Amino acid sequence: MSDPILSIDALTIDLPAGADRPHAVEDVSFDLSKGEILCVVGESGSGKSMTANALMGLLPDGVTVGRGRAVFDGTDVLPLSEVRKQALRGARIGMIFQEPMTALNPLMRIGDQIAEVFAAHKLHSKSERRARALALVKEVGLPDPEKIIRAYPFQLSGGQRQRAMIAMALALEPEILIADEPTTALDVTTQAQILRLILALREKHGMAVMFITHDFGVVAEIADRVIVMRHGRIVEAGLAQQVLETPQHSYTRALLDAIPTGRVPDLQVITAAPALEIRNLNKIYRTGGGVFRPAREVRAVNDVTLTIAKGEVLGLVGESGSGKSTLGRAVVRLVTPDSGQVLVGGVDLAALDAKALRQQRHRVQMVFQDPYASLNPRHRILRSLSDGPIAKGVPKRQAHTRARELLDIVGLGADAATRFPHEFSGGQRQRIGIARALAMDPELIIADEAVSALDVSIQAQVLALLADLRRKMGLSILFITHDLRVAAQVCDRIAVMQYGRLVEVGPVREVFHAPQQPYTRELLAAVPGAGWAVAPEAVSA
């Protein structure tokens, strides 16, 4: 806490008139010391990013600093002119963002985008800029630097882009690096690499890092100190270990509690009767192809055989591109597999023609990832819930009654039926999504990243609802997720996918505690904060 390089004092940021609250950030004060990693944690809308944006002078239109100071190197940077802020930005305070896919200019070469930082601050000659860009690319661990600096962003993977972003932010050796959810959009193994990179760079350059995240796992991984924000205010601040282990504020506790712990459940008694049998399923995507060039093939699902027993929750985990979503969609026949069988209740869904399929659709239902895209914005909830049953032959009145019942069951109340989707929050919509799946009385539910888009506390509520429903209704669920901790919490068995193949299948306990395959081990090791969250329980198990 000695020697603060940045000192924020009673910062208040005003939102434009008509917003849902008057201030984005209210009366926030904290210090940032040299070489320190400070994590700012909070859920969406907590104001955690606004603080950073205010510092950089990058507040959205209409949002203004109301009160407070931000003293950096003896100067309050908030009232500085745009020109002086420009001089500060990039040179003394660097920043990286959440979406590496969109944060780079798609039309400029990586090298040019890095060199541009020097140009912006009128440093170095042209050739020198290039040499430095090359060195930076090397430093952030990008392979084949010569090639990378000539590449365009679309030619890089997400992790590589984030490294390139970091290279830009570090170009002028800033005293402060602001990282705004820099790993949220990345796969878990990539996230681990980026976190290690940031730690290493901090070590080497001694810069202070203000790391904004919603993920306590990440906090456990890298934070020296933590600030927890809620509704624009700081609710708790302290050393990382203190906050994580002995949270003082109830909100912090709630947040920590909401995090799936990695505590694995006891083995469930599983019936032998299968709810779903997948046999030798294959799906190949062919892209391009034409008169002049061969098609490119991606084996999204490669000879997968898998069974889910009645009443079982099977977790399907893997990183992006592993084929787990394709497998899920193939099971419900939103994707038609190239070969193999999908047996549900004795019917091979993979083999049905369009008409027969329509009649059998009700057997498997899906809960989708994006709560904002999964409901037709032009239909009332009642219609979204009853169209399917009515098409299946349920009398209209009965379908409507059932829809209201289900809305009650998922905790929204029957009144929700007459409203439109835009009147609900993300978590509520996900409940509606669950109700919709249930309305069809399915034999199997596929939950495709069903809680990934939700804030931790909401996530916990929805997971609790699922667990509750499962207990009450004996649901069979294929639970697709990238989040191993979530999987560990709700699943009976885990199936790990990589490159379209099943790598490992087994009870959660076995897979987590005694992974057989190197990839599974790598995956588990990469989970941020894993050591902290899983370890104590794991030992006891």
Partner 1 sequence: MSLLTTIFGRLIKAVLTLLAIAVLNFFLIHAAPGDPAAVIAGEAGAADPLFIAQLRERFGLDQPLYVQLWSYVKNVLTLDLGYSFRQGMPVYDLIADRLPATLLLTLSSFVISLSLGIAFGVAAAARVGKASDSILTTIALLFYATPLYWAALMAVLVFSVQLGWLPGFGYETVGSGYSGLQRTWDILQHLILPALTLGLFFMAVYMRMTRASMLEVSQMDFVKTARAKGLSGAVIRRRHILRNALLPVVTLAGLQAGQLIGGAVLTETVFAWPGIGRLMFESLEARDYNTILGVFLVSAAMVILFNILTDIVYRLVDPRIGAKS
Partner 2 sequence: MTFWKRFATNRGAVIGLVLLAAVIAIALLAPVIYPGGPWKMVQRPFLVPFTTDGLPLGTDTLGRNVAAGLVHGARVSLLVGLVSTVMALLIGVPLGALAGFYGGYVDEGAMRFTEFFQTIPNFALAIVLVAILQPTLGSITLAIAIVSWPPVARLVRAEVMSLKRREFVDAAHLAGLSNIRILVSEVLPNAVSPIIVMASLMVATAILLESSLSFLGLGDPNIMSWGYMIGAARTVIRSAWWLSFFPGLAILLTVLALNLIGEGLNDAFNPHLTKKGRT
**Position 336 contacts partner 1 (CB under 8 A):** no
Site size for partner 1 (CB under 8 A): 39
CA distance 280 to 339: 7
91 binds, among partner 2, partner 1, none (CB under 5 to 8 A by kind): partner 1
**Position 106 contacts partner 2 (CB under 8 A):** no
Distance in Å, CB of 432 to partner 2, minimum = 11
Stretch that binds partner 2, among 36-44, 163-171, 368-376, 508-516 (CB under 8 A): 368-376
Distance in Å, CB of 153 to partner 1, minimum = 9
**Position 395 contacts partner 2 (CB under 8 A):** no
373 binds, among partner 1, partner 2, none (CB under 5 to 8 A by kind): partner 2
CA distance 74 to 252: 33
Distance in Å, CB of 179 to partner 1, minimum = 11
CA-atom Rg of the chain in angstroms: 25
Distance in Å, CB of 510 to partner 2, minimum = 33
62 binds, among partner 2, partner 1, none (CB under 5 to 8 A by kind): partner 2
Site size for partner 2 (CB under 8 A): 31
* Helix ranges (DSSP H) in 246-285: 250-258
What are the beta bridge partners of residue 179? 96, 211
The torsion angles phi and psi of 466, rounded to 5 degrees, stand at: -60, -45
- Nearer to partner 2 among residue 160 and residue 430 (C-beta): 430
What are the beta bridge partners of residue 237? 227
CA distance 239 to 255: 17
Any idea which residue has 């420009």 for tokens?
86
Sheet holding 347-348, edge to edge: 295-309, 274-288, 339-344, 347-348
Would you call 54 helix, strand, or coil by DSSP?
Answer: helix
Q: Report helix angle 456-473 to 426-439, nearest 10.
A: 20
- Nearer to partner 2 among residue 163 and residue 283 (C-beta): 283
For 353, other C-beta atoms within 10 Å of its C-beta total 7
Q: Helix, strand, coil % (nearest 5) of the chain?
A: 40, 25, 35
**Position 353 contacts partner 2 (CB under 8 A):** no
Burial of 307 (0-12, 13-18, 19+ CB in 10 A): middle
Distance in Å, CB of 90 to partner 2, minimum = 16
Stretch that binds partner 2, among 83-91, 274-282, 362-370, 517-525 (CB under 8 A): 362-370
Q: Closest by alpha carbon to 19, among 61, 78, 70, 48? A: 61
Residues in Cβ contact with 371 at an 8 Å cutoff, skipping those fewer than 6 apart: 426, 427, 429, 430, 433, 453, 454
Q: Which of residues 68-127 bind partner 1 (CB under 8 A)?
A: 82-83, 86-91, 94-95, 97, 99, 102-108, 116-117, 120-121
What are the beta bridge partners of residue 540? none
Distance in Å, CB of 180 to partner 1, minimum = 10
Q: Which of residues 165-194 bind partner 1 (CB under 8 A)?
A: 165, 168-169
- Nearer to partner 1 among residue 55 and residue 417 (C-beta): 55
Distance in Å, CB of 48 to partner 1, minimum = 16
**x/- contact string, 321-340, with partner 2 (CB under 8 A)?**
--------x--x-x------
For 299, other C-beta atoms within 10 Å of its C-beta total 16
In angstroms, the Cα distances linking 384 to 69, 329, 520, 541 are 50, 20, 39, 44
- Nearer to partner 2 among residue 31 and residue 448 (C-beta): 448
Distance in Å, CB of 90 to partner 1, minimum = 3
2 binds, among partner 2, partner 1, none (CB under 5 to 8 A by kind): none
Residue from 158, 274, 388, 528 touching partner 2 (CB under 8 A): that is: 388
Terminal CA-CA length for the chain: 39
Distance in Å, CB of 358 to partner 2, minimum = 5
296 binds, among partner 2, partner 1, none (CB under 5 to 8 A by kind): partner 1
Distance in Å, CB of 321 to partner 1, minimum = 17
Residue type, 443: E
* Helix ranges (DSSP H) in 79-181: 82-88, 110-120, 126-139, 145-150, 158-170
Interface contacts to partner 2, rule CB under 8 A: 61-62, 329, 332, 334, 354, 358-359, 361-362, 364-366, 368-370, 373-379, 384, 387-388, 391-392, 433, 436, 440
Binding site for partner 1 (CB under 8 A): 56-58, 82-83, 86-91, 94-95, 97, 99, 102-108, 116-117, 120-121, 152, 154-155, 165, 168-169, 287-288, 290-293, 296
